[in-house]
Amino acid sequence: IFLMFFTSVFLFLPAKLLQQMESRKNWDYTSSFYFTFVTLSTIGFGDMVAGDADENEGAVWSIEKTCYRIFIILWIIFGMGYIWGVVEVISKTLKKSGKPVIKIWRKIFEELKNENGQEPNTGYDDAIEKMEKMLEKQSHRVSVSLNDLE
């Protein structure tokens, strides 16, 4: 519910507002949603710019344009904060769920060691120990290079 609510607040509703406000540039809803996604995901191609003046319009100042530009700035700031929060929740969830992954890797390594009666490879044990140590420390992110497993 949290994810759906804030996704609609930061992606779907602003897309509808942008469609209305940028109609002079022929932005349909799809283009507006594209702009919201590209902006909040920090891709920022620059192919679409909201709140800029038209060439034909000149430098006309209005309270509506100023409020619209302030809205865009605030939307980007809070929207990027929301995206950061979602990434943080996903990151914490993956950290908590890392221990079952180690069990799976341990089984894979055991099968590799026993395959064709080969001598056990201590590199696999070292890689497992390294992953377990990294999981014990809450401040570190879990990442193991495939080169560590060789």
CA distances from 6 to 1, 13, 39, 44 (A): 9, 10, 16, 21
On whether the pTM is more than 0.85, the answer is no
% of the chain surpassing 70 pLDDT: 67
Q: For the segment 84-101, what is each residue's pLDDT rounded down to a tens digit? A: 888 888 888 877 776 676
Neighbour count for residue 35 (Cβ, 10 Å): 22
- Tell me the DSSP string of 92-122: HHHHHTHHHHHHHHHHHHHHHHHGGGPPP-H
- Composition of the chain by helix, strand, coil, percent to 5: 70, 0, 30
Q: For the segment 8-51, what is each residue's pLDDT rounded down to a tens digit? A: 889 999 999 999 888 878 899 999 999 999 999 888 888 888 87
